[in-house]
Structure 1
Amino acid sequence: MYINITDSKTANNKGSSGELVHYLEKENRIENKLEQEYWFNAKGRRFEPYEVRHAIDGNVAKLGKADAKFFLINISPSQKELKHLTDKYGVTDIRDQLKCYAERLMDEYARNFKREGVNSAKDLLWFGKIENHRYYGFKDKDVINGEKKRGELKDGNQLHVQIIVSRKNVTNSIKLSPMNNSRGKNEDHSKKLGQFNRVAFKQCGEDLFDRTFDFDRQLKDKMAYANIQKNGNLEQKMQLDVINNIPDNKPLLNNLVNKIGNGEFPTLDDLISKSNHTNIFELLLAPSFEPEPQGFEKKIKRKKKGNSLDQGIGR
């Protein structure tokens, strides 16, 4: 599951949302479809682009010219996740399921700010839109290797959701910035913008998908696992090696890898003491060497008494 928050896509988010709304309408303009893809949110499923632009642009009280007015959230399920949804709900229902998932994800987005009066998707001003295609960008490996060109359509099922969310809450009275990095450490700053942990939000979105759709995500496919492998320190990677050897216990493993990723275990000893799981003790107490093959000792005993190997052992 790829979830990303950006200041903008092709439009400057310090001005009108019109350019971004127009960009996200591209499939409605290009494709010859009998039915258009409408915008949706927690209050409806059939919003026109002009309604989206008018609502977002009108929700900017006390924001200066240099302030961000809106943000773009990209929700892109993987090919495995999309296949799971297709198998479970069929081609026709998958779009409605993604819309419901997006709404629940925006509930988590709201709660992540930890601001009084901002508790659910209904407390936010946002609009989502289903898109069918994705395009190769200049950062894609296939483009870098010269196998594809920038702007070409990607193969396979590329269904995903784009969400425009206002910087201000639905009452136009509270500033909310997901780009705030204080995570609650700067109390005054957090009171103004809300504390927001983007890593925790993305992890929450992954866990929400798994719970909602009964998706059996393997440990090594988790965002937290990949993030530790790529950006984790030595202690975190050592802890990952330990839990990799724990017998299959999905709730426990998911919980541990998330906590390791969040830095809740500064050392391996902390992992042991705070996790309170006997399997970890057993793994660490197990011998670090592999036992010799059966019959090895018997072969040594059959050596003659003057043999150098016997002499070495006797010393």
Structure 2
Amino acid sequence: MYINITDSASSNNRGSSRELVHYLEKENRIDEKKDLELWFNHSGKRIESYEVRSALDGNIAKLCKANAKFFLVNISPSQKELKYLEERYGKKEMNQQLRKYAEKVMDEYARNFKREGISSAKDLMWFGKIEHHRYYSFKDKEVLNGERKRGERKEGDQMHIQIIVSRKDASNKIKLSPMNNSKGKNEAHSRKLGQFNRVAFKQSGEVIFDKLFGFDRELKDAFAYANVHKNGSLLQKEQMDILERSSGQRDSLERINAQARNVSDGRFLSVADMVKETGQSVSSFIEALLEPSHPAEPDVNPVEDAERKRRRLQAQQDQGLGR
């Protein structure tokens, strides 16, 4: 699961939402399908593009010209996750399930601000759209290597969700910026805009998916695992290594992944703290550490083993004489 929030430095979000809404309508224009992919949110699933644009552009009270007016949230399930959904629900029902999932993700988006009165997707102004294709850009390595051309459609199932969320809440009174992660450095600023933990938000999207759809996520496919190996300290990587080695033991994937999230959050000051915190899984960690890297050989009869060695030695000597 890949979740990203586009900031104002890389998107034209200081003016009207017209250009972005028009861009996200591209599949409806290109494919010319009879059943258009309309916009959705917590209140409906057949919202027209002009309604999206009008609502967003009218929800900018007391925002300066240089302020971001909206943000783009990209939710991209992995190929493995999409395959799982298709096998469970079928291609047609996947759309509805992803809409349901997107609303729950936006619930977490709202709660992440830790602002009074902002507790669910209903407190936000947001509009989502399901897209079915992706195209190669000049940044893709396949284009840089000359293997693909810019604008070519990517292979495989590329279904994903694009969500435009207003900088202001649904009442047009409260400013909300997911780019504010001051973490107490400026308390007044945090109280005004809300303190948003983007890592926690990305992590929550994965947890929601697993619980909502009953998806068994392998540790190596978890966001926490990738985050620790990319950004973690040596201690966190050591802790994650122990979790990885114990993941084949008796512990469930859900339990292991929960501990991985704790490791990613820096909850444990030592390996001992992590093992102590897990309680019943202590034995699993110990077994993982003591487990031999190669399977033990089966018991053999010492007499038969000695006889085999004698014959092997005799054969080697005979070969030497034959030369």
What range is the shorter-chain TM-score in? 0.7 to 0.9
Q: Taking structure 1 as reference, are residues 269 and 55 closer, same or farther at Cα in structure 2, changes over 3 Å only?
A: same
Aligned mates of 1:77, 1:287 — CA distance in 2: 35
2:75: which partner in 1?
75
Deviations 1:214-241 (A, max 9, x none): 1111111101101111221111111111
Paired residue type of 1:271: M
| Residue pair 2:242, 2:289 contacting (<8 A) in 1 also | no
Deviations 1:117-158 (A, max 9, x none): 001000000000111111112332222222112221101111
1:191: which partner in 2?
191
Paired residue type of 1:58: G
Paired residue type of 1:252: R
Q: Taking structure 1 as reference, are residues 74 and 9 closer, same or farther at Cα in structure 2, changes over 3 Å only?
A: farther
| 3-state SS of paired residue (1:244) | helix
| Residue pair 1:10, 1:23 contacting (<8 A) in 2 also | no
Aligned mates of 1:10, 1:242 — CA distance in 2: 38
Structure 1, 238-247 or 204-213: larger mean CA deviation: 238-247
Distance apart, 1:33 and its partner CA: 1.0
Identity of aligned residues (%): 60
Aligned mates of 2:94, 2:30 — CA distance in 1: 22
| Residue pair 2:122, 2:170 contacting (<8 A) in 1 also | yes
2:226: which partner in 1?
226
1:275 aligns with 2:278: yes
Q: Taking structure 1 as reference, are residues 289 and 37 closer, same or farther at Cα in structure 2, changes over 3 Å only?
A: closer
1:88: which partner in 2?
88
Paired residue type of 1:282: I
1:44 aligns with 2:44: yes
Q: Taking structure 1 as reference, are residues 284 and 292 closer, same or farther at Cα in structure 2, changes over 3 Å only?
A: closer
Paired residue type of 2:282: T
Task: Give TM-score, length-normalised by structure 2.
Answer: 0.85
1:109 aligns with 2:109: yes
1:266 aligns with 2:269: yes
Deviations 1:36-68 (A, max 9, x none): 111110011111111111111111111111111
1:255: which partner in 2?
258
1:302: which partner in 2?
none
| 3-state SS of paired residue (2:162) | strand
RMSD (Å) for aligned C-alpha atoms: 2.5
Aligned mates of 1:50, 1:164 — CA distance in 2: 14
Aligned mates of 1:42, 1:269 — CA distance in 2: 45
Aligned mates of 2:189, 2:9 — CA distance in 1: 26
| Residue pair 2:13, 2:70 contacting (<8 A) in 1 also | yes
Aligned mates of 2:68, 2:159 — CA distance in 1: 28
Aligned mates of 2:71, 2:79 — CA distance in 1: 26
1:145: which partner in 2?
145
Q: Taking structure 1 as reference, are residues 240 and 41 closer, same or farther at Cα in structure 2, changes over 3 Å only?
A: same
Structure 1, 268-277 or 52-61: larger mean CA deviation: 268-277
2:132: which partner in 1?
132
Aligned mates of 1:25, 1:97 — CA distance in 2: 21
Aligned mates of 2:142, 2:93 — CA distance in 1: 32
| Residue pair 1:11, 1:20 contacting (<8 A) in 2 also | no
Q: Taking structure 1 as reference, are residues 287 and 102 closer, same or farther at Cα in structure 2, changes over 3 Å only?
A: closer
Q: Taking structure 1 as reference, are residues 114 and 25 closer, same or farther at Cα in structure 2, changes over 3 Å only?
A: same
Q: How many residues align?
A: 298
Aligned mates of 1:285, 1:231 — CA distance in 2: 25
Q: Taking structure 1 as reference, are residues 11 and 282 closer, same or farther at Cα in structure 2, changes over 3 Å only?
A: closer
| Residue pair 2:136, 2:143 contacting (<8 A) in 1 also | yes
| Residue pair 1:113, 1:194 contacting (<8 A) in 2 also | yes
Aligned mates of 1:257, 1:200 — CA distance in 2: 13
Distance apart, 1:29 and its partner CA: 1.3
Give 1:147-166 correspondences, 5 Å limit.
147-166=147-166
1:3: which partner in 2?
3
| 3-state SS of paired residue (1:208) | helix
Aligned mates of 1:291, 1:161 — CA distance in 2: 46
Aligned mates of 1:218, 1:291 — CA distance in 2: 23
Q: Taking structure 1 as reference, are residues 35 and 270 closer, same or farther at Cα in structure 2, changes over 3 Å only?
A: same
| Residue pair 2:39, 2:46 contacting (<8 A) in 1 also | yes
| Residue pair 2:8, 2:14 contacting (<8 A) in 1 also | no
Structure 1 residues without counterparts, runs of 5 or longer: 300-315
Paired residue type of 1:144: L
Structure 2 residues without counterparts, runs of 5 or longer: 306-323
Distance apart, 1:283 and its partner CA: 4.6
